[in-house]
Amino acid sequence: IGLEGEHLNIFKEDAMQNMKWKSTTNPPKNQTLIWYK
């Protein structure tokens, strides 16, 4: 989610529906992904 996503509470179901999601065929490269559970 990242710091901005955490600030926007996009991990909450009702907030996720207000986000503008963008699909891409070119995902970012050379960027570390960190997953939290």
Range(s) of the domain holding residue 32: 1-18+28-36
Q: What is the CA radius of gyration of the chain?
A: 12
Whether 13 is in a domain gets the answer: yes
**What are the tokens at 15?**
């907030």
pLDDT digits (tens, 9 = 90+) for 8-31: 777 777 766 776 777 777 777 887
Structure tokens at 21: 């999601």
Per-residue model confidence (pLDDT) at position 13: 72
Q: Is the pLDDT of residue 1 over 60?
A: no
Residue 2 domain-assigned (yes or no): yes
Domain membership of residue 1 (yes or no) is yes
The answer to whether residue 37 scores a pLDDT higher than 70 is no
Q: Would 23 be classed as within a structural domain?
A: no
Exposed e or buried b per residue across 1-37, where buried means at least 16 C-beta atoms within 10 angstroms of its C-beta: eeeeeeeeebeeeeeeeeeeeeeeeeeeeeeeeeeee
* pTM (global) more than 0.85: no
Q: Is the dihedral of CA 21, 19, 13, 34 positive or negative?
A: positive
Structurally, the chain folds into a number of domains equal to: 1
